[in-house]
Structure 1
Amino acid sequence: MALLLKGGPVAEAMSQRLLDQCATLKEAGVTPVFAIVRVGEKANDISYERGATKRAQALGVEVRSFVLPESVTEDQLVETLEGINRDSGIHGCLMFRPLPLHLDTPRVARTLDASKDVDAMTSSAMGVLLSPSAVGYAPCTAQASLEILKYYQIPLQGKRITVIGKSMTVGLPTALLMMNEEATVSVCHILSRPEDTRDLCKDADIIISAAGCPGLVTRDYVRHGQIVVDVGVTLGKDGKLHGDVASEEVEPIVEAITPVPGGVGSVTSTVLVGHVVEAAMRRLWKDQ
């Protein structure tokens, strides 16, 4: 059976580093502050907010919640974000998406100061993957995938990596992160030529699936010796979370695989809080 690349130990190791950084900030009289903007009462958003808040507070990060009704006007939401921009005591901001359909998401996203965009809402998030001088932070889920591979000391340089899915929030930034590690990356779109996707997956050293399509990656996609990172998380009709990988078929074949749940998702909130702490560190260095 494959080695399970569990996210818990990765998050714990990251948390220890963040505790040290928060201690340094505290000595300088700085408390990292994290703003969470939520529109409406979606159960998934509330659940994630609860988990992110718990993680942040455990690491010494203060959380300020801005909860707005689903009927909020675009100008009211923009005004809220502009207030967060002006507040020098707030270091990072997460805004839950998707927003209600009556709101212009691109306009709202452009409002947030890129230096406070810890969840890759602004266009600067992609820029930071292309240029070290860009302002911003990598999308949290994409970075969580990289953190897991690094923690388990899986070499990336020169490896062939196939990424399934090309979304701006996960697939494409994941591919760019892996390219920055000097891997050779192929990006597949699940709607075109599935036979090509299977071939590219079988040829790869590492498969990263971010398609959001339960059971997509079956035994036909894999071979012995591969590493599989399952980023896709879908709530099934059975009320359970399912990944892109048919784990019962794939686990007996590959060398290592991330579980769902308990894999990439369990690291993502720690990456998010880490971005807030990093933003506070950057502000401290800038002010000195």
Structure 2
Amino acid sequence: MSTEKLSTGNLSTGNLSTGNLPSQNAPARVIDGRAIADAALSDLSVRTRQFRDETGHVPCLAAVIVGADPASKAYVRMKANRSVAVGMTSRTVELPVSTTTEELVDVLRALSEDPVVDGILLQHPVPVHIDERVAFDAISADKDVDGVTSASFAAMALNGGGFESCTPSGILRLLDATGVELAGKHAVVVGRSPILGLPMGMLLLRRDATVTYCHSRTVDLAAHVGTADVVIAAVGVPELIKGAWIKPGAVVIDAGYNEGNVGDVEYVAALPHAGAITPVPGGVGPMTVAVLLEQTLAAAVRAAAVRA
């Protein structure tokens, strides 16, 4: 979920015409993130097993969590379970809320140097007294499978082959599942956090979309959203994006997750307007985890090649 706050049915790809936005006259199709992610994880399980058989190495994802936030702990536990389900190993490092930036950096650097660990995840958010950017950048770029380091962002923005930010990358996969050709389309990203909104716009630009960022200083948010062929809601404000704002036929991706299983978009009110829309939960979240684990395997493959 983005940290920035603003003030103001199943998808069948065969029913959407490739290269065009969904029909403006059809009811919104629900983009089933769970089904798309399950297919990706099934394929990943096969590839992980092949890698283990060929190298004798079991890919390992290490997750670091600072503090005892119940939601964060549950999220890390879910990622660990998914890791094991696809044939990987998982390591969880739990640190007290009193942990300093320097102590956290030491832990992340030690994991970066551990040959058993292939990918590192620092669970967001960290306590406010920790310099999150310093902590993120202590992760080796080779193991930054969540795509949060400055090096990964630069490589992603410049198409340099680094690991992509998981949620934005997962969102692209969901957009691909709608059959929409992004080139030339107007995408409005609501939110500019460095791990969600900002990299989302970069990935859309790489697909030749015309991108508008909206944020806490944006004037007349409704007008901007109303011009969008694709809306990405990523602010963490419950139902900030009103259904009536949605342009008929637009694709709506809701990356927000708020208390009570509520997203950043007025879901029910948006259904009559949108061409396709993600639910909350069951939309963006499953694809985020799928991308995280895919990139963990990719890191393990790269490391094996270096060792060889």
TM over 0.5: yes
One-letter identity of the residue aligned with 2:107 = T
Q: Does 1:207 align with 2:231?
A: yes
Whether the 8 Å CA contact 1:201–1:221 is kept in 2: the answer is yes
Q: CA deviation at 1:187?
A: 1.2
One-letter identity of the residue aligned with 2:59 = P
SS in 2 for 1:241: coil
Q: CA deviation at 1:170?
A: 0.9
TM-score w.r.t. structure 2 length?
Answer: 0.86
Among 104, 109, 112, the alignment partner of 1:77 is: 104
Q: CA deviation at 1:269?
A: 1.3
Greater mean alpha carbon deviation, residues 20-29 or residues 251-260 = 20-29
Q: CA deviation at 1:54?
A: 0.9
Q: Which residue does 2:140 correspond to in 1?
A: 113
Partners of 1:167 and 1:265 lie apart in 2 by 17
Q: CA deviation at 1:90?
A: 0.7
Q: CA deviation at 1:78?
A: 2.5
Q: Which residue does 2:125 correspond to in 1?
A: 98
One-letter identity of the residue aligned with 1:54 = N
Among 166, 185, 205, the alignment partner of 2:192 is: 166
Q: Which residue does 2:42 correspond to in 1?
A: 16
One-letter identity of the residue aligned with 1:201 = V
Q: CA deviation at 1:35?
A: 0.7
- Structure 2, unmatched stretches of 5+, are 1-26
Q: Which residue does 1:175 correspond to in 2?
A: 201
One-letter identity of the residue aligned with 1:17 = D
Bigger relative contact order (CA 8 A; separation at least 6): 2
Q: CA deviation at 1:102?
A: 3.6
Partners of 1:219 and 1:41 lie apart in 2 by 36
CA RMSD of aligned residues (A): 1.7
Q: Deviations over 1:15-66 (max 9, x none)?
A: 1221232122112212101111112211011100111011111001100111
Partners of 1:92 and 1:54 lie apart in 2 by 15
SS in 1 for 2:252: strand
Q: CA deviation at 1:113?
A: 0.9
Partners of 2:130 and 2:245 lie apart in 1 by 40
Q: Deviations over 1:161-203 (max 9, x none)?
A: 1111111111111111111111111111243212xx3223222
- Structure 1, unmatched stretches of 5+, are none
Gap change, CA 1:167 and 1:93, over 3 Å in 2: same
Gap change, CA 1:227 and 1:133, over 3 Å in 2: closer
Gap change, CA 1:225 and 1:103, over 3 Å in 2: closer
Q: Does 1:42 align with 2:69?
A: yes
Whether the 8 Å CA contact 1:164–1:190 is kept in 2: the answer is no
Q: CA deviation at 1:106?
A: 3.1
Gap change, CA 1:185 and 1:106, over 3 Å in 2: closer
Partners of 1:270 and 1:11 lie apart in 2 by 6
